[in-house]
Amino acid sequence: MQQPRLIIELNPIVQQTDSRSENAWHVVFTFIIPLLVGILQVHCHVSPFVTHPVNMWTFLFTVIIYCFALANYIKSRYYHTAYSKPSAMLALITGSLASISVISIFVPHKLELPLFIVWIPLPIYVARNLIMHSSQCLYQGFKNVISSAYSNTLTRFMGSRTTMDQQPRSQV
């Protein structure tokens, strides 16, 4: 008697994972940012705005932008608008910069700059993807405009020819 085989189809799983991969970063940031702030409150006896003002102001600025970008991302996904991908990318950059800004407070001063240098490839990679996505959207937009202009011109030209052919010729 032959054992039944278990056949696993990976395509639906991969598609489901790909569609949720943008959300995975935001789940991590919404967990790690409050955790780091809590640790910062316990760790620092002096206000971090006094000891690390640049890091803290960077953190506050990027968290505010992150919140707005994440809200825009969620809203654009709900209404199926074109702003979903740029909002997700902006949220990824600002969420990671906010996390790095707080983490840099815990590391020795000599390691702060290397920590930010290690972070730099992320916005470059995300910006590259954003530029590619934007250029594809522009290409599709120009393609649609040119196609519609061509079809309108062709319809008008062919329409005027058929109306001329349909009119009875007057005999002189």
Note whether residue 72 is domain-resident. yes
Q: What is the pLDDT of residue 130?
A: 77
157 belongs to a structural domain: no
| Domain ranges, residue 81 | 49-138
Instruction: With respect to residue 36, please indicate whether it lies within any of the assigned structural domains.
Output: no
Does the residue 76 lie in any domain? yes
Per-residue pLDDT, 19? 47
Contact (CB, 8 A) for 55 and 104: yes
Q: Is 38 a domain residue? A: no
Question: Would you write out the chain's pLDDT as a tens digit for each of its 172 residues?
Answer: 555 443 333 333 333 334 455 667 888 888 889 999 899 888 888 889 999 999 999 999 999 999 999 999 888 888 877 778 888 888 889 999 999 999 999 988 888 888 888 888 888 888 887 788 778 888 888 888 888 888 888 788 776 555 555 555 556 5
21 inside domain: no
Q: In this predicted structure, what is the pLDDT of residue 16?
A: 35
Of the candidates 82, 104, 92, the one whose C-alpha atom is nearest the C-alpha of residue 36 is 104
Question: What predicted TM-score, i.e. pTM, was given to this entire model?
Answer: 0.64
| Residues with Cβ within 8 Å of residue 49, at least 6 apart in sequence | 56, 57
Answer yes or no: is 119 within a domain: yes
Q: What is the number of structural domains in the chain?
A: 1
Q: Is residue 113 part of a domain?
A: yes
Q: pLDDT at position 8, please?
A: 35
The pLDDT value recorded for residue 102 is 92
